[in-house]
A and B are shown apart, each in its own frame.
Chain A
C-alpha cells in the first residue's frame, strides 16, 4: 500500500508537467508570437482614415477660388470578400460581371494585395453612395471612404492654383504621411502650400463582428485621432483682374504677370492658353488630361508664367541704361549714332529707321538697338576694371541683383531660373579668353543667351517702379486669416538691387513716361493716370514676341505689369493694349476704351496666325 501511495507523486508530477507545457505554450502564442495579434487586428478592426477638409483658397478680396465637394470612394479589402452575391453587387454599381472580375483582379495584384485595401470604384456620386451604403453590410470586404474633390467656382488661374492628384509609390516612399491613392498637391500653390492646405488625417478604429458589421469604435475612440482641417489660404490675386486678363489673353499664346510693387503681391498671373481647372477633377480627369496634353501648339498644360524662358528683348534695355548710368559710362545726355544697326560691327545688331543720334530718353523711347549696344560695350570695356571679364562679372552681378538668372523665390511651385550667362558659360562656347564685348554684343539689347520668365519680367518692372528694391513676388497673403504667419515672413524682407541711387532710376522712369506721353505707347494713354511703359519685341526664331512692361501710376505705383505674347510682333499691337486695359481695370474699375477692349477680346492669334500678319514698325 505504501508503495502505491507513492504513485501520487507521479500523478501530481504529470499534472504539473501538463500545466507547465500549457503555460509555456500560452507564453509563446500570447507574448512571443505576434502573428495572432496582427490577425486579430486585421479581422476585428477596420481602420478608417478620416480625410481632413482641404483648405479653401480665396482671392485678395475674399472671393472664393477653390472649395471642396464630397465624393465617396468604394474601397475593397479582397481578403475579407467572401460569399457575396456578385450579380446583386454588380447591379448596384451598374457594372458587368467582367468589369467586376477585372477590378477584383486589379485589387489583388501588385502593387495591391489581398491584404491591402484599395479603391474599387472611384468617386461615387452622393446618390449612388446613399443607396449603396444601406446594403453594404451584405458585402463583406467592401466599404466606403469619403474624400473631398476640389471645385473652382470662377474657373480661373488654373496654372497658379495647380491641381491635386493621387500619391504614387514614389511619394509614399518619400513621405510616410501619404498612402497610395491619397490626394496631394501636384502643381501650383496646391503643391507649394500642400502642408498648410492638407491638414492632418485622422484615424478611426472601428470594431467589426464576424459578419463584418460595425460594432462601434474601439475603446470608445481612445486610440482614434481626429482629422484636423487644412488651413484656408488668402491669395494676393485679384480675381476680377485675373479673370479679365484671362479673357483678354484668349486665343493668344503668352503670359501676363501683374504685381503690386509696394508689397510684391501678385495681382494676376496668366498663362495662356489656360484651361478650366474643374477639368482636372473627378472621373473625367484622366481623359481631359490626355486631351489637353495633346494640344501641341497651345500647350495649355505648360505654365508659361514661371516655366517659360524668353529673351527679355527691349525691356532689358532699361536694365542696360541703369547699369550704364550707375557705372558712370552713360549720362542722360550721351548720344550714340544708329545706322539701321550698330555701326562698329557693320550694322549688327540691326535696328529700325529712326532719328540719329539720340540721347538716352530718345533711345528708350525708340528702343534703339545700336544705342544699347554702345552702352553694353562701354560697360564691358570700362577701363576702371582693368579687364573685360572683371567688368563683365560686375555687369552680370548687377543684372542678377534684379532677380534675373535666378529664381525669384516666390511661393509659386516650379519656377525656372532663367539665364544670365556666366563667364564660364562663354568660356565653354568660345574658349577661355577668346571672347569680348563685340562677341556677345546682343546681350545689351536683351537677346543672345539671356532668358527670363514672365514672372521675372514683371518683378523687374516692379523694381524699377520702386527705384531699386522689391519684395519677393508672392501669391499668398494670409494663412488661415493670419497675414503674420511665419511661413510668410520671407515675403516681408525688402531686397535691394546693386543700384541704389534713385536719381538713376528717375532718368529711366522719365524715359518710360515719355514713351506713354508721346512715344511708342502714345496711343495707349489712360485718362487721368500718367504711367510709365516700355514697348518691345523679343527676337525669336519665328515671328517676334510682343513685349510690354509698364507700371502705374507714375508716382506711388500700385501695379506693375509684364506681358509677353508669343509671335505677336510689335509690343504696342497686342501686349501694350492688354496691359493698358488691365491697369485701367485695376485702378479705375471701368474701361474707357471699349473699342480697344473689343479688339483685344476678339483677336485670335492661335487660329489665324498665318493671315494676321502684323507689320513690324521698328
Chain B
C-alpha cells in the first residue's frame, strides 16, 4: 500500500496552515495541562509520572501517527472504509467483555498505566464509512432509504457506546454528523425537527405540559388563519401539532428514564428547582468561578488558584477550558475559541475545494465532530450546555482523544493533499 510519488515527498501539497494551527493548539493544550495539575514537587514539564509528562508522550505518538497517515496511500481509506468501520465496531462491542472495568467505566482497554478507549476511534471510522456510502454515485441523501442507512451508520455505534459502554458523552458526539448530512442534502425539515425537539424538550421541562399543549394548539390555529386552507395544509399542520404534542409527552418519558446524574445536569443547566452549589451544582459553579475570576487579562500562567488547587473537578480533561479562562482571561479564552473555529472553518473551505465527494464528505465530518466537541465542552464550563463529558479537541488531557482527533484530521489532510490527482 505504501508508495512514493515520483520525486514528490509525502508532505507535497499538505495544507500547512492547518498543520500549523494543529501544532499550536496541541502545544497550548499541553502547557495548560501543566498549569491545571501543576505540582511543585514535579515541576519539570516532561516528568512522565505526571499528566503533563504523559501528555507529551501522547503528543509525540500523535505526531508519529500523523506521519504514518501521510505516508499511507490515500486510496487505502476509501478502499478499506467499511472494513475499518466494521473492525472498530467489533472492538467497541468487545471492550465491555475484554477490557478491565475502571472507575465504573467499561470502555477501556488497559495496558499497564495506559489505556485505550476504542469509542474515540469510532468517530473517524464512522466518518469514513459515511463518506464511502454517501459518495456512491447512485446514492442521494434525499432518498429516504439512504437517509436510513446513514442514520444507521451513525446510530449503531452511538447505541453500542451508550448502552454497552455506558459512555453517553462519547455517544452523543455522533449527533455532530447531522451538519455533514445537511451539507450533503439532508432535508432541512430534519434539522428543523431536531431543533423543534430541543426547544420542546426544554419547554416541556420548564412549563406545565398542559399549558404547552394549549400553546401548541393555539399556534396551529393561528397558522391556519394565515395559509391557504386546503386538505394538504390542514394535514401538515395537524401532523406538526401532533408530533409536537408527542414530543412534549416524550420529553417526560425520556427525562424519567434518564439516570439521576443526567437529570441533575439538565436541571442545573435550566436552573430547575433549587440547585445546591455544594452538590449537584458544584462542577458548573466552580467552572464558572474559575473562568469568571480570570477577568480580562487573566491571572497569568501558573497563577490560577481555582484549577491548580482542585476547586474545579476534572480540570485537566473535560474542564481544561477553566484553566484557559482563569489564567489567560477573556483575551486568552477568546483566542482559543477563535483558533479552534478558525481550524474548523478552514476545514470546511478545504472540504469545499475537493473534487472527490468522498474527501469532501469526510472533511465535513471532521469539521462537524470538532465543532460539536468545542460547543459542548466550552458550553458546559460557562453554563450554556449541559455537562456532557467530552474533551476539548487538542486541549484536554488524554491519549485516546488526542489520537482520535489527530487521525480524524490527518486523514483529511492526506486526502486534501491529493485533491488534484484523482476523482474518487
Nearest CB on A from B165, distance (A): 28
Decide: B289 and A43 in contact? CB cutoff 8 A.
Answer: yes
Mark interface residues in B150-187 (1 if CB within 8 Å of A CB, else 0). 00000000000000000000000000000100111100
Also in contact, A36 and B289, with CB within 8 A (given A12-B348, A30-B325): yes
> Once bound together, how far apart are the Cα atoms of A411 and B330, in whole Å?
56
Nearest CB on B from A272, distance (A): 59
The verdict on B378 contacting chain A, using a C-beta distance below 8 Å, is: yes
Nearest CB on B from A326, distance (A): 76
Decide: A30 and B333 in contact? CB cutoff 8 A.
Answer: yes
Of the stretches B260-268, B336-344, B394-402, the one at the interface is: B336-344
Mark interface residues in A24-37 (1 if CB within 8 Å of B CB, else 0). 01110111010111
> Once bound together, how far apart are the Cα atoms of A443 and B293, in whole Å?
74
The verdict on B305 contacting chain A, using a C-beta distance below 8 Å, is: yes
Nearest CB on B from A101, distance (A): 21
The verdict on A485 contacting chain B, using a C-beta distance below 8 Å, is: no
Decide: B295 and A19 in contact? CB cutoff 8 A.
Answer: no
Residues of A within 8 A of B103 (CB): none
The verdict on B296 contacting chain A, using a C-beta distance below 8 Å, is: yes
Of the stretches A203-211, A246-254, A314-322, the one at the interface is: A203-211
Also in contact, A40 and B382, with CB within 8 A (given A15-B344, A207-B305, A210-B311): no
Decide: A26 and B310 in contact? CB cutoff 8 A.
Answer: no
Decide: A11 and B296 in contact? CB cutoff 8 A.
Answer: no
Residues of A within 8 A of B333 (CB): 26, 30
Q: Which of chain B's residues has its CB closest to A39's CB?
A: B289
Q: Which of A30, A36, A39, A218 gathers the greatest number of chain B CB atoms within 10 Å?
A: A30
Also in contact, A8 and B311, with CB within 8 A (given A26-B291, A37-B293): no
Nearest CB on B from A83, distance (A): 10
Decide: A29 and B291 in contact? CB cutoff 8 A.
Answer: yes
Decide: B289 and A26 in contact? CB cutoff 8 A.
Answer: no
Residues of B within 8 A of A35 (CB): 292
> Once bound together, how far apart are the Cα atoms of A14 and B375, in whole Å?
11
The verdict on A87 contacting chain B, using a C-beta distance below 8 Å, is: no
The verdict on A110 contacting chain B, using a C-beta distance below 8 Å, is: no
Decide: A23 and B305 in contact? CB cutoff 8 A.
Answer: no
Q: B183, B290, B382: which contacts A25 (Cβ < 8 A)?
A: B382
Nearest CB on A from B386, distance (A): 15
Q: B183, B291, B375, B379: which contacts A36 (Cβ < 8 A)?
A: B291
Residues of A within 8 A of B296 (CB): 30-31
Decide: A209 and B303 in contact? CB cutoff 8 A.
Answer: no
The number of residues on chain B lying at the interface, defined by a beta carbon within 8 Å of a beta carbon of chain A, is 40
The verdict on B228 contacting chain A, using a C-beta distance below 8 Å, is: no
> Once bound together, how far apart are the Cα atoms of A33 and B292, in whole Å?
8
Decide: A16 and B305 in contact? CB cutoff 8 A.
Answer: no
> Once bound together, how far apart are the Cα atoms of A23 and B334, in whole Å?
6
> Once bound together, how far apart are the Cα atoms of A210 and B310, in whole Å?
6
Residues of A within 8 A of B384 (CB): 21-22, 25
The verdict on B393 contacting chain A, using a C-beta distance below 8 Å, is: no
Q: A11, A25, A29, A207: which contacts B179 (Cβ < 8 A)?
A: A11
The verdict on A290 contacting chain B, using a C-beta distance below 8 Å, is: no
The verdict on B345 contacting chain A, using a C-beta distance below 8 Å, is: yes
Q: A7, A15, A43, A82: which contacts B345 (Cβ < 8 A)?
A: A15
Decide: A30 and B295 in contact? CB cutoff 8 A.
Answer: yes
The verdict on A429 contacting chain B, using a C-beta distance below 8 Å, is: no
The verdict on B329 contacting chain A, using a C-beta distance below 8 Å, is: yes
Also in contact, A40 and B345, with CB within 8 A (given A5-B352, A22-B378): no
Decide: B310 and A40 in contact? CB cutoff 8 A.
Answer: no
The verdict on A44 contacting chain B, using a C-beta distance below 8 Å, is: yes
The verdict on A297 contacting chain B, using a C-beta distance below 8 Å, is: no
The verdict on A135 contacting chain B, using a C-beta distance below 8 Å, is: no
> Once bound together, how far apart are the Cα atoms of A102 and B183, in whole Å?
68
Residues of B within 8 A of A31 (CB): 295-296, 330
> Once bound together, how far apart are the Cα atoms of A602 and B231, in whole Å?
123
Mark interface residues in B261-281 (1 if CB within 8 Å of A CB, else 0). 000000000000000001000
Mark interface residues in B292-303 (1 if CB within 8 Å of A CB, else 0). 111110000001
The verdict on A18 contacting chain B, using a C-beta distance below 8 Å, is: yes
Q: B289, B305, B348, B375: which contacts A18 (Cβ < 8 A)?
A: B375
The verdict on B132 contacting chain A, using a C-beta distance below 8 Å, is: no
Mark interface residues in B360-384 (1 if CB within 8 Å of A CB, else 0). 0000000000010001001100111
The verdict on B309 contacting chain A, using a C-beta distance below 8 Å, is: yes
Q: Which of chain A's residues has its CB closest to B303's CB?
A: A219
Residues of A within 8 A of B295 (CB): 30-31, 37
Decide: A19 and B382 in contact? CB cutoff 8 A.
Answer: no
The verdict on A70 contacting chain B, using a C-beta distance below 8 Å, is: no
Q: Which of A7, A12, A15, A21 gathers the greatest number of chain B CB atoms within 10 Å?
A: A15
Residues of B within 8 A of A210 (CB): 309-311
Residues of A within 8 A of B (CB): 4-5, 7-8, 11-12, 14-16, 18-19, 21-23, 25-27, 29-31, 33, 35-37, 39-41, 43-45, 82, 207-211, 215, 218-219
| 26 pairs, CB–CB < 8 Å, chain A vs chain B | A4-B183, A8-B183, A8-B348, A14-B179, A15-B344, A15-B371, A16-B341, A18-B371, A22-B382, A26-B333, A26-B337, A30-B292, A30-B295, A30-B329, A31-B330, A36-B289, A37-B292, A39-B292, A41-B293, A208-B309, A209-B309, A210-B309, A210-B311, A215-B305, A215-B309, A218-B305
Residues of B within 8 A of A (CB): 179, 182-185, 278, 288-296, 303, 305-306, 309-311, 325, 329-330, 333-334, 337-338, 341, 344-345, 348, 352, 371, 375, 378-379, 382-384
